[in-house]
Structure 1
Amino acid sequence: MAELFDPVRGTSEPGRLWSITNVSEATPDILSPLCWSVWGRGLEEGVLWSMYSFGVVARREIVMSDDPNDLKTAAIYGRQAFNVDAVRRMVAPMPGVDPNDLERDIMGATREGVPKEPARPWRIPIILVKMPRAMLRTGSELRAVYEDVRQWWHRDVFEASRTGRHTIARPIDRLHEARDRFQRIFGIHCKVRLQLQAVQSALHDAAAKAGDTSLATRAFSGQGNVREVGMAEDLWRLAQGELTEEAFLAEYGFHGPNEGNVYTRSWREEPAPLRSMARSMAARQNYVSPRAREEEAVRAGAQAQAELLKATSALGRPALKFVLARARNIVRNNEIGKAGYLMTLDGCRAAARDLGREEVAGGRLAEVDDVFFLTLEELDRLVEGRLPDASELIAYRRGTREEYKRMKLPSSFEGMPEVTTAERAPSAGPGDEGDQITGAAAGGGQVKGRARVVLDPNDDVELEPGDILVCRFTDPSWAPLFTLAEALVIDLGGAASHGALVAREMGIPYVIGTGDGTARIHDGDQILVDGQHNVVRVIERANRGG
């Protein structure tokens, strides 16, 4: 009998700082053991290879540590958590990247009295040679790998799911191939994210010197031609009958609720959530199309950039112009990289379910989705006949998954977190009007409206004109919903996260990284979202009856 253990329970030494703010947006649902088999190795090795290409680490340092406290992320009670201390140490030698800025963007603030990371002066000459060259090549490298992944996904995942014809016969081999593709494109995506971080830091510093920090957010908005705006526009075309559902799925079918988790179902498998959003768009009167929103955001962003350049000294303007020009490509590349790795995750999902069906037919699994409760290494053994009875292990992990789902973790914690099982904060009473909430990042103007609190992305959401979307997290599958909302309030995320980026591109006011907004705001409350001052205020509580 296999040992009863759960690879996503996690462990941490005391005092180590973890955050679920950004990575939980990437993997919002409870991780399954198979999810962690893909993300754990893929993310760690992808980050290490990107650091090697920048010259930050030597080739001999591209080794996954056996100590989870040294890894950049960990699975803790089923949630992917970001190792803030380890990542600070990693980026410290990089010119233009301040560990304090990185922590501020992740956490919303920087801890007082954090010791300075150990210097690595012997790496500086290597970084100065390798890093500029790697940065200049990142865009073309990403686009080449993305195009290869896109063709692979369309041929071997989307079309194969309809025809049953696969380039690689065995599902277990397809699963390994998809994980390897994830690691490759995620490593390039990491390089884009680090450049995004450097650009944000440079804009923040320039705006601070100009005496108006809000200029940084406004100047970073409206880069234009972002992939997710195109997806929302195509869904609008689908809603208007200008595009067929099959054509839409052939381009975007790898998206879906909680799409960063392998365990879930994409639109390719289950298009019902897609149809629900299309119906909501079709029913909306005076709907402003996503491209029209984007065009307005581009105009506002250009005006903010002009203001920032005018407020910058003549000596500093050439460098700022370079940063603003880089911002446009980096924002677009960030979304391309994300789309690419999401395609590889859908490839893992498809191969895993094919493997599950094969193992059910062979009598080794009871249900198709049992496959997600085994690691990839365990699945190798199962296929080879070296895991003869996995049923007790699967039952145990199904039980721990239910346990983790009942847990509520803080957005950041040191060591193993203290958890609660409360779904919401205590119900608000009649005197709670005026409750004020802040976030880790904000942008846009000021909007009043009715709060629509969405805790499960699988739920049908009917947003009326003037409604404000309040949710725990967002991923790319939420982008079409953004166009139906007047503003966004999001528990998890920061300045560089998906929700903030897409909101900026569509000109939607937002406050993100509230931590507990979905607990303190109730469905139907009248709220004020002030993106300029990073404030959400409850104006009037909804009448919830007696």
Structure 2
Amino acid sequence: MRGPARMNPKEHDEIMPPGAQDFRYSARVGGAIWPAARAGGKANGLHLLVRQGFDVPPAFCILSDAFEQALACCVHRVESLDELREKLLGFELSEELVAEVDAQMRAIEPGWPASADSLGWAVRSSALDEDAAGHSFAGQQKTVLGVQTRDEIFGALREVWASLYETGAMLYSDGLTLGGKPRSMAVVIQRMIAPGCAGVMFSQNPLSAEAEQIVVNAAKGMGLQVVEGGSAQTYYLEKSSGYVEGYESGDGAGDEATAKPLLDEGQLKELAACARQLEYTFAEPMDIEWAYAPRAVSASSARAESAHGIRPTLYLLQARPITTSAKPAGAAPAPVAAVWTNVNVGEALPGVATPLTWSIIRGFSRLGFERAFGSLGLEVPEDYELVGAFRGRIYLNLSQFMSIASAIPLLKPQTLFEMAGGGDIAALDGNYEQRDSREFLFRLPRTALKIAASQLTTPLVAPFWSRHFKDWRDQYFEQDLSQLSHLEFRDKLDEIDRVFARTGLVMLACSSNFLMSYVLMREAMRLWAGEESAGQEQTLLGALDVESAQAGYDLMELGRLARRSHRLRNAITDHAPGEVLGVLRGLKGHDDVDGFLAAFARFRQLHGHRAPREAELATPRWREDAGFLFEVIAGYIRAPRLPSARELERVRAQARAQVRAEVERFFPAGISGVFRGLLRLTRAQARQREVMRARVVDSLDIYRRYFLECGRRLVLQEAIRQPEDVFYLRVEDLQNWLYNMSSATDLAIRVLVARAMHEANAALPDPPDTFVATGQRIQDAHKFEASDPRAPVHAQSLDEIRGLPGSAGRVTGRARIIRDPNKDAYLEPGEILVAPYADIGWTPLFLIAAGIVTSLGGPLSHACIVAREYQIPTVVNAQGATERINTGDLITLDADRGIIYIRERA
């Protein structure tokens, strides 16, 4: 090895100029011309080692161009990643590539492939994402060892290519983003050696903060058990001298002091010098695969060298930055633990999101947090990712959220938890940064003026914008998007983006105003009436006459209409929900059917933008799929009786009277008037929030229609197979295509990968609702004591589940588990609906149910607002409810206290 020379690892990053060498698809590792951008992490690492003078077994790289050519031929009309892998495994290589591989191998081993005494070859992945500084993705793609024949070489090449699309490897590298695709694949073909021992070395201890300690793992032979996590000898070396500070035999013999080490003092010092040089050269801690082997090129020569006692040579097989290590002084800090939760955001967008939905929601949520904190005079740091995806599910970074909010003096974390729907507050201890309040207090006068201005102007702006939005929406749906030119169609997305952004900002302003008024109202009650008033704020927000409750009332009117006609009753209850609309259309000409269909069309005109899980763009809306609606109407028909509109209004009037009574109970005459004014403001803002939330859902329906037209056009371009594939792309992919139609060439593989990832994530169990993550490692955050009312399943009574009050009342009935109402929304009148979540699209079911239980959600959720409107007892955030309760169980909801009692098992 020659002396150390510090270098820039990208110094060979040039693309080969035409004519620079004879080969198009391959390059010799260590050669003068090196196309780093097409060689991948592993090949680049080997190349740099050779250029620095280290001993590396001879190798060459098949560049990513060859893989991309094969992929382009195989991906067309493929329906799954399994099918794509099969096509890659059977792909016929071009004559030019075959000739290049033959030439490269003969240059390394002149007798190949005739030599029967060859040590063989290793065929290894060198994906373009592999062995990077941030992520190594070690061991995620295929490695084929001991390859001898020509056919085996090309078969191994295809195997390595196909391994890029193994679902497990893609789940490993998915991280916090959805909708990406694996980068291209290069392949290293390297002559094998015959090591006496081999292993892995870290230039600093990867498990501790000890930067001056080298860790060497060693095993006999090729050292496979080391890289595969098996037993091995471990040496702890002082970095500066190579002195052995500790030794573990790893053989289970019990007496480590008597185990014979595989490495002698000279080899350990040589390894330490190698580690020092690599760390200096690359200016960061390194993870190094090494082997001591003869310099022989054949098996017989290797045996001869060993027999004559010739000292083996130190070979380096791989070098990459350590991705799990404590960093040296001055480097970026190691990943810190963060608390993530979906207790509240999971109700807004439950389950696994498609890439298209995630790419829009992510940007909108960022804007939302910036606006919300900005209204309080706080800033969201640029490097904060307040919302992320784990296993495809959306989570809030509670540590970052609390770090920002901690600058507000007197604001207790518990207050935020209660408003957001609860969670394990103990998990935050030591996992967020307590900010200085001085900057907040300095800005407070200006912040107070901004808050006052928002409180005054938003009630005027929101109704105006809502009316404008409706006019624009109606004109949009009258347009035939398929008749627009590509340029007109592209510009239409910009228009939709502007409307969506404006609608979102108005909705966020309404939400912020409501939350501020709600906190003032709640704290006023607690300061005056004490803890006796705790929980009464939910009663005070009942019977609001919110727009989001109207869909349930209107659908009940359709149910009432259907109950009057024997023909309608039979058509709706005797057929599958998805078939009913077609059956009714076949019965046109009868007055009862015609009247019902006209009323149903009016319903869909008003509420057709809604659906269960309506924040997901891939979800068909009620205007597209009427199955859910007829399932609910069938429930109305089965009900013993339906309350009349007058009865429903009487119930709401009683609820409003209860609100007045609660105010009079807690406040004396002189103060009650002031509090009633604050309560009227809070209730008005809650109504306005629901109106603007409906406009945002309308916007998502507008996006859905636009993107489906994108899908139709991409199908005509033969870029994807069906219009619905568009939901597995990101919005930036579609924007690129709109401005450059030729960019559609890689959309098919993006769809295949994203769909496979979506299905794989959906098959995985949900992560804990609250967990602590360090990098990509997830640890359940629950640390409750048995006496804690929010205790998890194992710490509670088997017959009792605790949640949070959502809508007051107490009821007993049989449970009905519904997980996805788009697939099955059957509910018998009087049953208690138990669901993982419930958004506005679920709420027509509420009018059939005797009570509601959800595993996610908070008391200020939109579904809770509607449940209080309907005066239906509701418990939310009842963790584990859908697992512990079975359909048919007799349960009691004490929604005043947020407790569910299991009385009798089905």
Aligned pair 1:440/2:804, yes or no? yes
Alpha-carbon displacement from aligned partner over 1:29-81 (angstroms, at most 9, x marks no partner)? 421111122111122124324544x3625xxx68x83x3xx133222321221
Offset at residue 317 of structure 1 (A): 3.4
Q: Distance in 1 between matches of 2:336 and 2:485?
A: 48
Aligned counterpart, 1:310 = 665
After superposition, what is the alpha-carbon deviation per residue over 1:456-476, rounded to whole angstroms, capped at 9, x for unaligned? Answer: 121332322320000011111
SS at match of 2:829: coil
How many Å separate the matches in 2 of 1:417 and 1:301? 49
Secondary structure at 1:529's aligned position in 2?
strand
TM-superposed CA distance for 1:96, in Å, is 9.9
Structure having greater relative contact order (Cα 8 Å, sep ≥ 6) = 1
Q: Determine if the alignment matches structure 1 residue 183 to structure 2 residue 501.
A: yes
1:35 aligned to 2:357? yes
- The residue number in structure 1 matching 2:419 is 105
Aligned amino acid, residue 821 of structure 2: P
1:229 to 542, 549, 557: 549
For 1:351, give the aligned amino acid.
Y
Counterpart CA distance in 2 for 1:314 and 1:46 is: 40
Aligned pairs for 1:123-138 within 5 A: 123-138=443-458
Amino acid at match of 2:534: T
- Kindly state the Cα deviation for residue 516 of structure 1 after the two structures are TM-superposed: 1.3
Partner letter of residue 524 of structure 1?
Answer: G
SS in 1 for 2:821: coil
Deviation of 1:486 after TM superposition, in Å, equals 0.5
Offset at residue 316 of structure 1 (A):
4.7
User: Offset of 1:184 from its aligned partner?
Assistant: 2.1
Match of 1:335 among 690, 706, 722: 690
> Which amino acid letter does the alignment assign opposite residue 337 of structure 1?
M
Specify the alignment match of 1:424 in structure 2: none
Superposed, which structure 2 residues align to 1:503-522 within 5 Å? 503-522=867-886
Tell me if 1:375 matches 2:730. Answer: yes
Which structure has the highest helix share of the two?
A: 1
Alignment of 1:401-440 (within 5 A): 401-407=758-764, 408-415=766-773, 416=776, 418=778, 435-440=799-804
Q: Distance in 1 between matches of 2:404 and 2:498?
A: 23
Residue equivalent to 2:640:
285
Question: Alignment partner of 1:221: what SS?
Answer: coil
Displacement of 1:179 after TM fit? 3.6
Look up the match of 2:337.
Answer: 15
Aligned twin of 1:388: 745
* Aligned partners of 1:197 and 1:496 also within 8 Å: no
Q: Once the 2 structures are TM-superposed, how far is the Cα of residue 261 of structure 1 from its aligned partner?
A: 0.7
Secondary structure at 1:388's aligned position in 2?
A: helix
Q: Corresponding residue for 2:291?
A: none
Query: What does residue 536 of structure 1 align with?
Result: 900
Matched, 1:353 2:723: no
Residue 190 (structure 2) aligns with: none
Q: 1:154 to 1:460 in 2, by over 3 A?
A: farther
Paired position in structure 2 for 1:268: 623
The alignment's TM-score, normalised by the length of structure 2, stands at 0.53
- 2:391 aligned residue (77, 86, 102): 77
By how many angstroms is 1:338 displaced? 1.1
How many angstroms apart in 1 are the aligned matches of 2:626 and 2:550? 19
Pick closer, same or farther for the CA change 1:325–1:339 going to 2, 3 Å.
same
Q: Which residue, 525, 534, 543 being the options, matches 1:213? A: 534
Shift in CA distance, 127/99, structure 1 to aligned 2, threshold 3 Å? farther
Q: Distance in 1 between matches of 2:707 and 2:397?
A: 29
Spell out, residue by residue over 1:280-314, the C-alpha distance to the aligned partner (whole angstroms, 9 max, x if none).
Answer: 22342311257744641442243234323432356
Q: CA deviation at 1:95?
A: 9.3
Answer yes or no: is the 8 Å Cα contact 1:104–1:110 preserved in 2. no
Q: Alpha carbons of 1:316 and 1:8: their partners in 2 closer, same or farther (altered >3 Å)?
A: farther
CA contact (8 A) 1:171 1:355 kept: no
Q: Given the two structures, how large is their TM-score scaled by the length of structure 1?
A: 0.86
Question: Does the 8 Å contact 2:372/2:512 carry over to 1?
Answer: no
Distance 1:262 1:310, change over 3 A: same
Matched with 2:679 is 324
Q: Matches of 2:453 and 2:804 in 1, distance apart?
A: 33
* Contact 2:663 2:676 (C-alpha < 8 Å) held by counterparts: no
Runs of at least 5 residues in structure 2 that lack an aligned partner in the other structure: 1-67, 69-127, 130-163, 165-169, 178-333, 562-594, 781-792
Choose 1 or 2 for highest CA Rg: 2
SS of 2:891 mapped into structure 1: strand
* 1:490 to 1:34, Cα distance in 2 relative to 1, 3 A: same
Matched, 1:456 2:820: yes
Whole-angstrom CA distance in 1 between matches of 2:702 and 2:389:
22
Task: Output the CA distance in 2 between the equivalents of 1:219 and 1:537.
Answer: 26
Cα distance in 2, alignment partners of residues 367 and 170 from structure 1: 23
Match of 2:132 in 1: none
- The 1:511–1:277 alpha-carbon spacing in structure 2 relative to 1, beyond 3 Å, is same
Higher strand proportion, which one?
2
For 1:286-301, what aligned pairs fall within 5 Å after superposition?
Answer: 286-289=641-644, 292-293=647-648, 295-301=650-656
Mark the CA change 1:274 to 1:290 in structure 2 (over 3 Å): closer, same or farther: farther
| Cα distance in 2, alignment partners of residues 125 and 96 from structure 1 | 17
Equivalence for 2:790 = none
User: Could you report, residue by residue, the CA deviation over 1:3-39 in whole angstroms, capped at 9, with x for unpaired residues?
Assistant: 8879974179542222212222221242111112211
How far does residue 191 in structure 1 lie from its aligned partner after superposition? 2.3
In the other structure, the counterpart of 2:755 is 398
* DSSP 3-state at the match of 2:425: coil
Preserved CA contact (<8 Å) 1:18 1:83: yes
CA displacement at 1:318 relative to structure 2: 4.6
Judged with a 3 Å threshold, the aligned counterparts in structure 2 of structure 1 residues 297 and 83 are, in CA distance, closer, same or farther, namely farther
What is the percent sequence identity of the aligned residues? 25
Q: 1:527 to 1:436 in 2, by over 3 A?
A: same
Please tell me the residue identity of whatever aligns with 2:628: P
Q: Within 2, Cα distance between the matches of 1:17 and 1:26?
A: 19
Query: CA 1:291–1:38 in structure 2 vs 1: closer, same or farther (change >3 Å)?
Result: farther
Offset, 1:204:
3.2
Could you tell me which amino acid in structure 2 is paired with residue 234 of structure 1? Answer: D
Number of positions where the alignment pairs a residue of Structure 1 with one of Structure 2 = 521
**Distance change (3 Å), C-alpha of 1:108 and 1:215:** same
Which moves more between the two structures, 499-508 or 481-490? 499-508
Q: Per the alignment, in what secondary structure is the counterpart of residue 386 of structure 1?
A: helix
Matched residues in 1 for 2:362 and 2:407: separation? Answer: 24
Between the aligned partners of 1:176 and 1:263, the Cα distance in structure 2 is 21
Amino acid of the structure 1 residue aligned with 2:837: F
